[in-house]
């Protein structure tokens, strides 16, 4: 196994020397990409960056990942994956081409830099672009003619042009002095935005089979970025600018967020009307046009839906526009965990029991089925609210061995017949495929089902209360 430094040396030996005046920079970079001689650096080796780095290594590129987390760097270099969608054996198979480091100096010789850093929200729901700015400064200090930089992190429209580009140029100038000749985007270096479309745990659409949207600062930028992504995806969707690509990503997630909020509110309406919302959705889904089914649940979770629409709302607020749909959808989805806790309290009350002191067992704390991801999971808010009401709380999740709820560490307990029988209320929050719902219904006493997981249960002792 080569070490990181030897990979760097091999890259330098394979790279032709050139000067911008002597050669067409764009043509040289296109040739370097086509021949797989380009050194690609992926900044941020999380759930987006690591799969991307692996795909590029599989395509024949030499790839160096950069991450501030030494644990991640060590794991990558050992061929040990910490991302569920990348098995360790897949990572280990490309370690001859893929190495990791905490040292940004590798970017001095990189042909391509892909930025895959987090873009969380602050406590006030404002975008936290500090990771983009930090990466931009590091890259800018090492920016050179013939480099392609692509931002993949989800953000508000205008970030690539208004934030990343000046950060790169300012850092470039500051690191070289005022006498240096400025670089021109689209001529000397290339900048684009291409939003990640990772859906953890999904197998029907992969990084390769999911169409890739690419927006360049100039037509030349788009051409170069498209040439790179064409090596790892089946279909490219070129758009006119980074702003369009940035907005495309937000629309995708806003579409889902708004429709989930709508069906969550419909679920509350149906509950008031004494109607089974799941039966309504199933019937409406038979219409062959004009309807797309969405399903209610305990709230929104994951890395995108609860976060991304706020980027758009924040940007529009700065332009004196109120994104009403965004705020309304967030309001509805945000109150769903409290609504679920209300359903639990009502179900226990029907059994003559208060929430305080009752044994409540949560099934699933991941934000979606069959993954270990608990980011923004509504199950954690349900747990927090139940603990605040004095419930004797426990949970089981086959994918999540432990979880933190307001500083309190909870560990997944074994799911046994006795565990179910002892619980005053069992709450289905994540419908993992590993669960045997017939068996659960046979041994539980009371089930509050927020996912319609028990729809096909036949018999059983449990009383089942739907969302």
> The CATH number of the domain where 289 resides is what?
1.10.1040.10
Structural tokens at position 202: 């999904």
Would you state the pLDDT for residue 458?
Answer: 82
Domain termination site, one of 290, 308, 333: 333
- Written as one string, the DSSP assignment of 364-413 is --SSSTT----TT-HHHHHHHHHHHTT-EEEEE-TT-SEEEETTEEEEPP
Q: Phi first, then psi: what are they for 403, rounded to 5°?
A: -150, 150
Query: Is the sign of the CA dihedral 98, 102, 106, 111 positive or negative?
Result: positive
Would you state the pLDDT for residue 124?
Answer: 76
For residues 247 and 11, what is the distance between their CA atoms, to the nearest angstrom? 36
Domain CATH for 398: 3.40.50.720
In a domain, 376, yes or no: yes
Are 427 and 404 in a shared domain? yes
Q: Among this protein's residues, is 425 annotated catalytic?
A: no
Please compute the mean of the pLDDT values over residues 286-309 and round it to a whole number: 90
Would you state the pLDDT for residue 23?
Answer: 54
Domain range for 409: 335-466
Sequence-distant contacts of 436-440: CB under 8 A, at least 24 apart: 440/363
Q: In this predicted model, what pLDDT tens digit does every residue of 1-39 receive, in sequence order?
A: 344 444 444 444 444 444 444 359 999 999 999 999 999
Query: Which candidate, 40, 309, 48, 237, places its Cα nearest to that of 153?
Result: 48
Please compute the mean of the pLDDT values over residues 208-217 and round it to a whole number: 97
Contact by Cβ (8 Å): 63, 98:
yes
% the chain with pLDDT above 70: 95
Are 39 and 126 in a shared domain? yes
The alpha-helical segments, DSSP class H, found in 80-144 are 88-92, 130-141
For residues 234 and 209, what is the distance between their CA atoms, to the nearest angstrom? 6
Are 324 and 358 in a shared domain? no
Would you state the pLDDT for residue 127?
Answer: 85
Which CA distances in Å does 311 have to 124, 183, 191, 275, 297? 12, 30, 21, 36, 23
In a domain, 128, yes or no: yes
Are 221 and 317 in a shared domain? no
Would you state the pLDDT for residue 27?
Answer: 96
Contact by Cβ (8 Å): 93, 21:
no
Would you state the pLDDT for residue 462?
Answer: 83
Would you state the pLDDT for residue 302?
Answer: 79
For residues 451 and 426, what is the distance between their CA atoms, to the nearest angstrom? 13
In a domain, 245, yes or no: no
Are 21 and 145 in a shared domain? yes
Q: In this predicted model, what pLDDT tens digit does every residue of 166-206 receive, in sequence order?
A: 999 999 999 988 778 889 999 999 999 999 998 888 888 99
Q: In this predicted model, what pLDDT tens digit does every residue of 225-270 receive, in sequence order?
A: 999 999 999 999 999 999 999 999 999 999 999 999 999 999 999 9
Domain termination site, one of 240, 261, 289: 240
For residues 45 and 82, what is the distance between their CA atoms, to the nearest angstrom? 10
Are 186 and 273 in a shared domain? no
Q: Determine the distance from the C-alpha atom of residue 239 to the mean position of all C-alpha atoms in its chain, rounded to a whole number.
A: 22
Q: In this predicted model, what pLDDT tens digit does every residue of 403-425 receive, in sequence order?
A: 999 899 999 999 999 999 999 99
For residues 53 and 264, what is the distance between their CA atoms, to the nearest angstrom? 37
322 has pLDDT over 90: yes
Please compute the mean of the pLDDT values over residues 300-308 and round it to a whole number: 80
In a domain, 19, yes or no: yes
For residues 102 and 382, what is the distance between their CA atoms, to the nearest angstrom? 38
Are 269 and 234 in a shared domain? no
Please compute the mean of the pLDDT values over residues 394-405 and round it to a whole number: 97
Catalytic-labelled residue, pool 11, 116, 304, 425: 304
The alpha-helical segments, DSSP class H, found in 59-141 are 70-78, 88-92, 130-141
**Average pLDDT, rounded, for the chain:** 92
Sequence-distant contacts of 65-69: CB under 8 A, at least 24 apart: 65/41, 65/98, 65/99, 65/100, 65/101, 66/41, 66/42, 66/100, 66/101, 66/102, 66/103, 66/104, 66/106, 66/107, 67/43, 67/100, 67/102, 68/102, 69/45
For residues 91 and 114, what is the distance between their CA atoms, to the nearest angstrom? 19
pTM (2 decimals)? 0.90
Are 457 and 444 in a shared domain? yes
Give me the number of domains the chain comprises: 3
Are 322 and 216 in a shared domain? no
Are 89 and 201 in a shared domain? yes
Please compute the mean of the pLDDT values over residues 338-345 and round it to a whole number: 98
Domain termination site, one of 316, 333, 350: 333
Are 225 and 296 in a shared domain? no
Are 198 and 95 in a shared domain? yes
Contact by Cβ (8 Å): 100, 64:
yes
pLDDT band at residue 285 under the 50/70/90 scheme? very high
């Amino acid at each position: 196994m080569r070490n990181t430094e030897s990979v760097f040396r091999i890259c330098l030996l394979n790279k032709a020397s050139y000067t911008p005046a002597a050669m067409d920079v764009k043509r040289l970079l296109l040739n370097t990409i086509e021949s797989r001689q380009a050194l690609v650096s992926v900044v941020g080796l999380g759930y987006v960056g690591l799969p991307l780095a692996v795909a590029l290594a599989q395509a024949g590129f030499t790839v160096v990942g950069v991450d501030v987390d030494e644990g991640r760097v060590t794991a990558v270099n050992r061929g040990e994956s910490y991302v569920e969608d990348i098995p360790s054996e897949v990572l280990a198979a490309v370690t001859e081409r893929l190495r990791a480091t905490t040292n940004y100096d590798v970017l001095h010789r990189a042909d391509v830099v892909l930025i895959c850093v987090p873009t969380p929200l602050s406590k006030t729901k404002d975008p936290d672009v500090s990771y983009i700015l930090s990466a931009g400064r590091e890259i800018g200090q090492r920016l050179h003619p013939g480099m392609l930089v692509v931002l993949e992190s989800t953000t508000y429209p205008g970030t690539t042009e208004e934030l990343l580009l000046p950060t790169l140029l300012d850092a470039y100038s500051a690191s070289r002095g005022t006498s240096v000749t400025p670089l021109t985007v689209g001529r000397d270096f290339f900048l684009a935005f291409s939003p990640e479309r990772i859906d953890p745990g999904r197998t029907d659409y992969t990084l390769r089979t999911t169409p890739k949207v690419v927006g360049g600062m100039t037509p030349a930028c788009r051409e170069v970025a498209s040439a790179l992504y064409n090596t790892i995806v089946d279909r490219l969707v070129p758009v006119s600018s980074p702003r369009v690509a940035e907005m495309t990503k937000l629309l995708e997630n806003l579409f889902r967020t708004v429709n989930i909020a709508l069906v969550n509110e419909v679920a509350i309406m149906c509950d008031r009307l004494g109607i089974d919302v799941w039966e309504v959705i199933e019937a409406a889904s038979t219409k062959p046009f004009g309807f797309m089914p969405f399903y209610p649940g305990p709230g929104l979770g994951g890395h995108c839906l609860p976060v991304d629409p706020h980027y758009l709302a924040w940007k529009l607020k700065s332009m004196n526009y109120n994104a009403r749909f965004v705020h309304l959808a967030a309001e509805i989805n945000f109150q769903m965990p409290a609504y679920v806790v209300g359903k639990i309290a009502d179900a226990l009350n029907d059994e003559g029991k208060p929430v305080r002191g009752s044994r409540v067992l949560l099934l699933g704390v991941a934000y979606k089925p069959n993954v270990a991801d608990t980011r923004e999971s509504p199950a954690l808010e349900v747990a927090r609210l139940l603990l605040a009401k004095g419930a004797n709380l426990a949970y089981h999740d086959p994918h999540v061995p432990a979880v933190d709820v307001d500083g309190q560490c909870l560990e997944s307990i074994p799911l046994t017949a006795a565990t179910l029988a002892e619980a005053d209320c069992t709450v289905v929050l994540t419908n993992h495929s590993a669960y045997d719902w017939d068996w659960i219904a046979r041994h539980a006493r009371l089930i509050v089902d927020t996912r319609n997981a028990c729809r096909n249960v036949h018999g059983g002792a449990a009383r089942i209360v739907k969302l």
